[in-house]
């Protein structure tokens, strides 16, 4: 699915904002393609998992919050 979503943003270096990112299962595909990824989720467990799973990538940011409360 992540590869199919790449057709939406095929060029490198885009910023992707993933709302309700869960365990960030698509993020490594996007990160390896040169994209920056910001993920938010209301679950602290999911965000901690995402941070740990993607710790080798410097173009990630993760926040525990509700979308309605997120400040850009």
Please give the chain's pLDDT, 72 residues, in tens.
777 777 776 677 789 999 999 999 899 998 998 899 999 999 999 999 999 999 999 999 999 999 888 776
- Please, are residues 49 and 25 in contact by the beta-carbon 8 Å criterion? no
DSSP state of 16: E
The predicted model scores a pTM of 0.81
């Amino acid at each position: 699915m992540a590869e199919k979503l790449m057709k939406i943003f095929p060029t490198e270096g885009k910023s992707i904002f993933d709302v309700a990112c869960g365990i960030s299962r698509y993020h490594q595909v996007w990160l390896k393609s040169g994209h920056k990824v910001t993920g938010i989720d209301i679950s602290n467990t999911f965000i901690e998992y995402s941070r740990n799973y993607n710790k080798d990538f410097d173009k990630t940011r993760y926040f525990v919050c509700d979308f309605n409360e997120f400040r850009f």
